[in-house]
């Protein structure tokens, strides 16, 4: 009897300090914990090397960017991935000549760097002023063939866009991964996006019939801005959803966590094909998606 393709995925959740070595050590400790629980692909949260600095528009924070090549955190995670035989997407602030990106390097289970994805959708609002730091990503949505599965990886604000999820699954992604940094809104304490955030991604999983893994940070981070202090309390709630959009594992809003879930990729593939949503798609009717206003195609 043919062996079925199963994979164990993990989402990590922790509170960041503003010290790179401390945060990378925490990430490594939790990666090892996930590996001990059988994880094959382990997702670390967005920009985990330090505080989420995008609360402020500060020139000195741009100096946190480093080139992809010989990036010290990526090199360390390559060594760790090879030692444990696991896949690790590694989020980092990338410098590329005079451009800067919110990027993620995908490290395969033998330590190979499979390449990077650069965040496509860049938010700009109080407390999340990413357009000051990051160019819009130019890689397009990508799928990475790892030892355990073909995976699609996008970043935080990308997770609100169904087009991104669908694009990755159309290219063969069997699991979607979203490293994240999201919490309270500094300008309005009455806004709570936590449940909305989860439901949107659960919809991506269910609409595309693939598992989905989301990793978010926890803790309060206070940043000195040009207008005084700004603070965000990150709400965690990292989760793993199954291919029907159901949550199969979830963290709370305060505690460090290592989430684990196992999926039978062959069974999911069979269900996805028989359900018919990819068979019955009508790309010829979706031309409005190539416009901003529903009328004029973007050149």
Select which of 46, 49, 174, 221 is catalytic.
46
For each successive 10 residues of the chain (299 residues), what is the average pLDDT? 86 98 98 98 98 96 98 98 98 98 98 98 96 98 98 98 98 98 93 97 98 98 91 98 98 98 98 97 96 92
Asked if 156 is an active-site residue, the reply is yes
Instruction: Report the predicted TM-score, pTM, of the whole model to 2 decimal places.
Output: 0.97
The label of the residue with tokens 């945060």 reads: 23
- pLDDT at 227 (0 to 100): 83
Q: The tokens of 68 are what? A: 């992809």
- pLDDT at 2 (0 to 100): 63
- pLDDT at 1 (0 to 100): 57
Select which of 49, 54, 95, 119 is catalytic.
119
Q: Domain-by-domain residue ranges, the chain?
A: 6-290
Q: Which numeric CATH code is attached to 6-290? A: 3.60.110.10
- pLDDT at 255 (0 to 100): 98
């Amino acid at each position: 009897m043919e062996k079925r393709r199963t994979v164990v995925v993990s989402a990590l959740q922790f509170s960041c300090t503003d010290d790179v070595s401390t945060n990378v050590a925490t990430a490594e400790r939790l990666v090892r914990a996930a590996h001990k629980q059988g994880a094959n692909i382990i997702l670390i949260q967005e920009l985990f090397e330090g505080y989420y600095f995008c609360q402020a528009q500060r020139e000195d924070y741009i100096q946190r960017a480093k080139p992809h090549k010989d990036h010290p955190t990526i090199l360390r995670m390559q060594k760790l991935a090879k030692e444990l035989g696991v896949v690790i997407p590694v989020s980092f602030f990338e410098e590329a000549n005079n451009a800067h990106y919110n990027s993620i390097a995908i490290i395969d289970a033998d330590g190979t760097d499979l390449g990077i994805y650069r965040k496509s959708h860049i938010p700009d609002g109080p407390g999340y002023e990413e357009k000051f730091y990051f160019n819009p990503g130019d890689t397009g949505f990508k799928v990475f063939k790892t030892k355990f599965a073909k995976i699609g990886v996008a970043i935080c604000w990308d997770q609100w866009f169904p087009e991104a999820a669908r694009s990755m699954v159309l290219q063969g992604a069997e699991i979607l991964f979203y490293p994240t940094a999201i919490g309270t809104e500094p300008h309005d304490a009455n806004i709570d996006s936590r449940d909305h955030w989860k439901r949107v991604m659960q919809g991506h999983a269910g609409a595309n019939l693939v598992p989905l893994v989301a990793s978010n940070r926890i803790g309060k981070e206070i940043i000195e801005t040009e207008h005084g202090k700004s603070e965000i309390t990150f709400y965690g709630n990292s989760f793993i959803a199954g291919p029907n959009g159901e949550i199969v594992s979830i963290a709370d809003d305060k505690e460090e966590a290592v989430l684990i879930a196992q999926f039978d990729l062959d069974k999911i593939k069979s269900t996805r094909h028989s359900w018919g949503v990819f068979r019955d798609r009508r790309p010829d009717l979706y031309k409005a998606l190539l416009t901003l206003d529903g009328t004029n195609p973007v050149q």
